């Protein structure tokens, strides 16, 4: 279903809010936000995005941050189903893209199982948009013929997903874009080096990408953990590893446009 005319019955939109900069929101996401009775909003969603919501919309904060107290996923799924079954139009608003490390797949499964009408509105993933703020192309004919998006940690709730095979990833020759990797950055960098990546492989970490408070460190694979610690960078952040990082625009490194948006 592609229409946003859903007032006749309950429905859930999984809305990708993009990496942070409100101007990177899609037009379809803007229209969906304005159609919703209830918005279940993740912690990483910029508050300015909610300016597109109806004045009478109910805003429910369902934050999920690594290492912090988070709203249980099962509770969020029950809320979506409950509101929709009461005829509400629900927006599940998520940072980035719902289907890229956003648990969107799990939520769609829950909605399908409950027989709830739903639609996914993809957003710009931070793994793509954030490196671009520093002028880093994820692919380049002279540097990398592919890019791999990977999580920096394994599930901690007993799920079947294992830690990424860093040795295999090191051998691909692809640019590596690592989500949620800051807590284990030293381990990840050491594992990639053990897997065959040279210590002087360019690498960077970008915190709060595309936002007014974006910060970044550009270094080598060997030095990145120490540089990140020295500069005090933390989560949320994207880590990029590969020779494409050598193309970073140093003049854009940590700079902002006059209106607060990311340069680049």
The verdict on whether 42 is a catalytic residue reads yes
236 upstream amide cis, omega within 30 of 0 = yes
Query: Which of 64, 80, 124, 182 is an active site residue?
Result: 64
Query: Which of 11, 37, 94, 180 is an active site residue?
Result: 180
The verdict on whether 28 is a catalytic residue reads no
Query: Which of 21, 42, 46, 94 is an active site residue?
Result: 42
- The catalytic site residues sit at 42, 64, 180
């Amino acid at each position: 279903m592609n229409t946003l005319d859903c007032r006749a019955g309950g429905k859930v939109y999984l809305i990708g809010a993009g990496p942070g900069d409100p101007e990177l929101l899609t037009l379809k996401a803007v229209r969906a936000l304005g159609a919703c009775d209830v918005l279940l909003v993740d912690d990483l969603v910029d508050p300015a995005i909610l300016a597109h919501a109806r004045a009478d919309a109910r805003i429910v904060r369902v934050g999920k941050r690594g290492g912090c107290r988070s709203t249980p996923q099962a509770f969020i799924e029950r809320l979506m189903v409950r509101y929709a079954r009461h005829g509400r139009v629900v927006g599940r608003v998520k940072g980035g893209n719902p289907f890229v490390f956003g648990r969107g797949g799990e939520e769609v499964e829950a909605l399908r199982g409950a027989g709830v009408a739903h639609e996914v509105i993809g957003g710009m993933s931070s793994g793509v948009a954030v490196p671009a703020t520093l002028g880093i192309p994820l692919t380049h004919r002279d540097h990398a013929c592919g890019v791999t998006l990977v999580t920096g940690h394994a599930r901690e709730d007993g799920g079947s997903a294992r830690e990424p095979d860093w040795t295999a990833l090191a051998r691909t020759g692809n640019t590596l874009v690592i989500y949620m990797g800051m807590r284990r950055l030293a381990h990840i960098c050491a594992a990639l080096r053990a897997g065959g990546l040279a210590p002087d492989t360019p690498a960077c970490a970008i915190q709060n990408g595309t936002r007014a408070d974006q910060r970044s460190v550009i270094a080598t694979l060997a030095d990145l953990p120490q540089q990140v610690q020295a500069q005090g960078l933390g989560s949320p952040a994207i880590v990029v590893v590969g020779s494409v990082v050598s193309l970073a625009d140093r003049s854009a490194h940590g700079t902002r446009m006059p209106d607060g948006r990311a340069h680049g």
